[in-house]
Every structure is written in structure tokens, then in C-alpha cells.
Amino acid sequence: MNNYYLGMMSGTSLDGVDLALVDFHHEPFRIVASGFTPMPENLRQKLTALLHEGGTSLQNLGEIDHQLGRLYAYSANQFLAEQGVSAEQIQAIGCHGQTIWHSPQGDFPFSMQIGDMNLVAALTSITVVADFRRKDMAYGGQGAPLVPAFHQAVFASPQYLTVVLNIGGISNISILNPHAVTTGYDVGPGNALLDGWIEQHLGQRYDKNGEWAKTGKVNRALLTALLDEPFFRQPAPKSTGRELFNLHWLEKKQGNLTALSPRDVQRTLVELTVQSIVQELNRIRTSLPCRLLVCGGGAHNPLIMQGLKTALPHWQTAVTTEYGMDADYVEAAAFAWLAYCRINRLPSNLPAVTGAQSAVSLGVIYPKE
């Protein structure tokens, strides 16, 4: 019998839906197939406006929630048809949903992901597991990051201190130390500012291979101003998102951006991503050999990868693909794993990572019928 789970992830980059079909029947579990569905432009524009403005009408919010549900269902059905896999072969879909606001601090902490999972279950005839973050928050955690437990299951080694670095819209790390509890947290902007800046100036969704940034130079004064952000000094556990790191934040940090070359700003934002990561890794103390495994969209940016290798000469730096898991689909596979844990009532958060009071099984189950 197949023990397939389908993981789906749409991240802060708003580029589309990553899909990973994961087989848990064998040990170690493996990605059987992977795919990607681009975000429809009209939906991407609505989500961008929603995240940019931080507010909307209930009518608009409800419509976007519905549209996302249909997008997830379409993505799953199309992908499974391409793979020749039937709905009956899938135990459950693990779908992260689309984060529109993450606010773990304050008197009323919350995290909000949208995408109607009832629609997904109805349109795919597959049980769906979603809403992973709020159970952790109910137990006093930040609800993020969720992937370190998965990274631990896949990449931990008794010989190395391993850091798994995911560079999506936001960068996050998982620190896998064989002699200590696993920790992990968000470190700062990944691709979010880079994507926003190039779209504003060139109308492109992202800077492919860092080509535009390569034509610019790092502005040291701007970099210093950007690194002077309290979040970077905040101790873990900590998590963040586009509600902090957006173009408004950039403008507040550097009042007169129009005086700077746009390509120099782009190059400086690359360096911000690199340096915010390097600062965190340099705080790690260990006698073990260290390796850095990179996944997410940032793994394809040669400027980011070279920057990390140059700044961390004593680390073995590679992409996760070299260790058996496609760098583009690690997060999607993580949500398949989270769904597997929920269906089998296994704990799936790490209190040392999120700050929760106890380990619990995350996610809400939406039955297929």
C-alpha cells in the first residue's frame, strides 16, 4: 500500500505553489515527485496589495481566501494527474496556506494563513491538514519556524554541526547539533526585499541569478543603516515576515533612496541577506566541523551563495540537493511530513525552537467527506 502524502507550500515570495509527493512507506522517507504551479497574476497582485497595506475589506479577504483554496486544489489535481497518481493513493495533503500576517508578540499574539481548506478537500477528494501554526501558539509558542523538526529528521548528523538555511522571502535557520537540542529561528530578509525592489524598478518578479545586482556595488552606509535593526539583535526564539521587512521598512531606514543608484540598492540588499545570516552563524560555538546546507529560492542566487562561502571559509557550504533533497522542495516536503505527523498523532513542533510549553501534534484535519 502506498503511504503518500502531498505537501504544498506558497511562501512569502508569492511566486506560486510548490508541491512535493512524499513516500513515508519506506525508511528513510523520500520525495517521489515535485512540481510547481505559478501564482495567477491577478491573485498575486491582490495578495501583494493586502500584505503591503496590512488591511482590507472582509469581502476582499473572503474572496482571496476562496481563490487560494481553488488554486491549491487545482495545483494538487493537476500535479497528481501528471504523475499518474490517484486521490485514493494520497493519505493526506499538508498545505501551509498563505501567510498574510504573523504577529507573535504583544498581548494578543496570532498568525494568519488563508486559503479555504474545505474547498481543497472537497475539490480533490483528499483529506487536508492545514493551520499548523496556531496550535503551537496556543501553547505559548511563536508558531514559527515549523521546519526545524523536519530538518532534524532529514539532515541531522552525529559527525557535524549542521545548519539548514532556508532562503525564501524570509531567511530561517535550523541548528542541528548532535550534542544539544535542535534550535531554529528566522534571521531576517531573504528574497522579499530583493523581489520587491526589482519589481518596483524593472517590473520583474525576481532578479534571476542575481544578474541585476551584479551590475551594482554595495553601499556601505546603507548596509550599516539596514543592519541597525532591533530584530537582528533580538534573542531567539524569534520569527518575522513581510509585515516588518518590506519596502516601507527600507524607506524608513534610508530616507532618500532616490539619491542612490537602484542597482546599488539591489546589490546592497543581497549583502544584507548574506550578512544577517553570517552574523547568526558566527555566534555558534562548537568544536565539531560545521556544514551549511542551503535550500529555497536563494540557493539559486550565485551572489548570495558566493557571499556565504566567502564569509564562512571554515564551513562546508552546499545546497540540500547535494544531500538528497531538492533545494526547491524542502519546505513543501516539510508540510507533507507535518501532515503525516498529524494523521498519526505524532508531535511535530520543537519547543526549544518556537518557545511552546510542550511538544504537540500540529495542524487541523479537514476530512475529504
Instruction: For residue range 239-286, list pLDDT tens digits in order.
Output: 898 889 999 999 998 877 888 999 999 999 999 999 999 999 999 999
> Average pLDDT, whole number, for the chain?
95
User: Are residues 230 and 253 located together in one domain of the fold?
Assistant: yes
Say yes or no: 341 and 221 in one domain.
no
Whether residues 217 and 81 fall in one domain: no
Residue 226 neighbours by CB under 8 Å, 6+ apart: 250, 253, 254, 268, 269, 272
Which residues fall within 8 angstroms of residue 71, CB to CB, at 6 or more apart?
Answer: 17, 37, 39, 40, 43, 115
Q: Residue 160's Cα: distance from chain center in Å?
A: 24
How do residues 210-250 score in pLDDT, each as one tens digit?
999 999 999 999 999 999 999 999 998 898 988 899 999 99
Specify binding-site residues for ATP: 11-18
User: In total, how many domains does the chain have?
Assistant: 2
Same domain flag for 106 and 160: no
Q: Which domain holds residue 63?
A: 4-143+330-366
Residue 3 has pLDDT above 90, yes or no: no
13 with 155, same domain: the answer is no
Same domain, 26 and 130: yes
Residue 90 pLDDT exceeds 70: yes
Q: What is the mean pLDDT of residues 42-59?
A: 91
| 108-133 per-position pLDDT tens digit | 999 999 999 999 999 999 999 999 99
Binding residues: 11-18
Q: From residue 209, give the alpha-carbon distance in Å to each of 149, 194, 214, 305, 333.
A: 30, 12, 9, 11, 24
pTM summary value: 0.91
- Asked if 108 and 189 sit in the same domain, the reply is no
Sign of the torsion formed by the C-alpha atoms of 238, 241, 246 and 249 = negative
Q: Give the CATH number for residue 350.
A: 3.30.420.40
Tell me: do 293 and 214 sit in the same domain. Answer: yes
Q: Rounded CA gap, 353 and 110, in Å?
A: 17
Residues 245 and 343 in one domain: no
Check whether residue 115 and residue 227 sit in a common domain: no
More confident residue, 333 or 1: 333
User: What is the pairing mode between strands 161-167 and 290-295?
Assistant: parallel
Mark whether 160 and 136 lie in a shared domain: no
Same-domain pairing of 126 and 163: no
Confidence band for 332, pLDDT divided at 50, 70 and 90: very high
What is the SS3 assignment for 225?
A: helix
Q: Is 131 left (phi over 0), alpha (psi -120 to 50) or beta?
A: left
- The predicted pLDDT at position 1 comes to 52
